């Protein structure tokens, strides 16, 4: 994939991890990561409930993103791995897990906004 792209993926995972930490500790919501653009101006009516609902989901997203970045870094660091069919299968599985969880995560953002926000 390219070393720079792998690094960007890992840094995105770290950024998401820091956003999860801020949510858990300070109740600070990263609007680009934890809110849909349509509901940015709505207020959270139950911050504690929102934190308890979203924190584990954001944390899992960060871990999956970091694992994806590490996977691509590992494969890019050892070109001989690219020719191994098992490595290609694992790569597809890791990528599909990332994509599936991302779709799930977006649905959970919408669910959290329905449950915990008001106009």
Q: What is the pLDDT of residue 54?
A: 92
What does DSSP assign to residue 43? E
Neighbouring CB atoms inside 10 A of 85's CB total 7
Confidence at residue 2, expressed as pLDDT on a 0 to 100 scale? 63
Measured between alpha carbons, how far is 35 from 109 in angstroms, rounded to an integer? 6
Confidence (pLDDT) at 105: 94
Contact criterion met (CB below 8 Å) for 50 and 42: no
> Among residues 90, 96, 4, 17, which one has the least CA distance to residue 57?
17
- In this prediction the pTM is 0.84
pLDDT (tens place) for every residue of the chain, 119 residues total: 567 888 899 999 999 999 999 989 988 887 777 776 666 556 788 888 989 999 999 999 999 999 999 888 888 878 788 788 898 898 889 889 999 999 999 999 889 888 888 75
- Phi, psi at residue 61, to the nearest 5°? -60, -40
């Amino acid at each position: 994939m390219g070393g720079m792209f792998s690094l960007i993926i890992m840094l995105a995972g770290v950024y998401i991890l820091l956003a999860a930490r801020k949510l858990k500790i300070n109740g600070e919501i990263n609007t680009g990561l934890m809110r849909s653009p349509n509901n940015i101006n709505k207020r959270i009516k139950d911050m504690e409930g929102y934190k308890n609902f979203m924190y584990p989901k954001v944390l899992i997203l960060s871990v999956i993103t970091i694992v994806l970045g590490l996977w691509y870094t590992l494969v890019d660091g050892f070109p001989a791995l690219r020719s191994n069919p098992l490595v290609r299968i694992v790569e597809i599985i890791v990528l599909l897990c990332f994509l599936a969880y991302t779709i799930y995560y977006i649905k959970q953002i919408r669910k959290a906004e329905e449950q915990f926000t008001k106009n």
